[in-house]
Amino acid sequence: MEGQIKNKMELINGITHDAEQEAQRLVEQAKKDVEDKKRACDTQVESLLNEAKKKAQAQTEAIIRHNRSAINVEIRRIALKKRGEVLKKVLEQVEERFAKLIAEPGYKELLMHWIVEAAIGLNAEQAVVNASKKERPLVTAEVLRTAEQKVKSFINKKVELTVSDEAEPLVQGVILFTRDKKMAFNNQLPTRLLRYQSEIRKMIFDALFKDIGEE
């Protein structure tokens, strides 16, 4: 009887021992699983944080690039506007100065050179010269004969120049046209300035806006 009881106790003790060991193993496994999941979670969190940092940095850089581009565009827009204003002011001052030159003794020679240029540009055997009301008295027979001689010396072609009997234009400078009025060469001051506007723009740009950069 005692032997049976002893055997039963040993069996129970063995089962208990095995159960405790299994429980311990399960606890250790559970701890390990928790640690693994924690490490995995930490890794995932770190990865997400790094990804978020990269996205934030990329977005920040994109915003900076956009703002820098917008600022540069605005600077160029302002520069172009100011350059246009300066050009307009310069042209106005040039026209004012030329208007005052009409009363100067040397203006007749300048007018003669404008007639020569127009005659060469027109390239006709006969041409009629018209000028503004203030300049018309300066277009004398002497001026026309001198202009004819200069055209001859420049392009080896004879041209006959006469003064127009039509109404004087309001614009300063001269305009030449053939007698049949089929061709004309405008050498009035605004047209001359327009021909040289690109050079004037470049002078203004080099003097005032070169550091900003070309549009």
**pLDDT tens-digit profile of 14-57?**
666 665 676 677 667 767 776 777 777 677 777 777 877 788 77
Q: What average pLDDT does the segment 119-145 reach?
A: 96
Residues 53 and 138 in one domain: no
Q: What average pLDDT does the segment 76-80 reach?
A: 70
Question: Of the spans 80-89, 160-169, 206-215, which averages the highest pLDDT?
Answer: 160-169
Q: Which residues of the chain form beta strands (DSSP E)?
A: 126-131, 160-163, 173-177, 184-188
Q: Are 174 and 114 in contact (CB under 8 A)?
A: yes
Distance, in Å, from the CA atom of 134 to the CA atom of 210, rounded to the nearest integer, reads 40
Residues 119 and 79 in one domain: no
Residues 115 and 154 in one domain: yes
Q: Output DSSP code: residue 105.
A: T
Residues 31 and 55 in one domain: yes
Residues 121 and 66 in one domain: no
Q: What percent of the chain has pLDDT over 70?
A: 79
Instruction: Look at the chain and report how many structural domains it folds into.
Output: 2
Q: Are 161 and 147 in contact (CB under 8 A)?
A: yes
Q: Check whether 100 has a pLDDT greater than 90.
A: yes
Query: Which residue's structure tokens are 């924690």?
Result: 38
More confident residue, 30 or 60: 60
Domain termination site, one of 41, 67, 101: 101
Report pLDDT for 155: 94
Q: Check whether 9 has a pLDDT greater than 70.
A: no
Residue 208 lies in a domain: no
Task: Name the residue range of residue 136's domain.
Answer: 105-198
Give CA 40 to chain center in angstroms: 54
3-state secondary structure of 215: coil
Q: Are 178 and 126 in contact (CB under 8 A)?
A: yes
Report pLDDT for 214: 47
Region of residue 129 (phi > 0: left; psi between -120 and 50: alpha; otherwise: beta):
beta
Report pLDDT for 15: 64
Report pLDDT for 56: 72
Q: Output DSSP code: residue 159.
A: -
Give the amino acid at 131: A
Residue 213 lies in a domain: no
Four-CA torsion 144, 150, 153, 157, nearest 10 degrees: -40
Residue 170 lies in a domain: yes
Q: Are 139 and 131 in contact (CB under 8 A)?
A: yes
Residues 76 and 115 in one domain: no
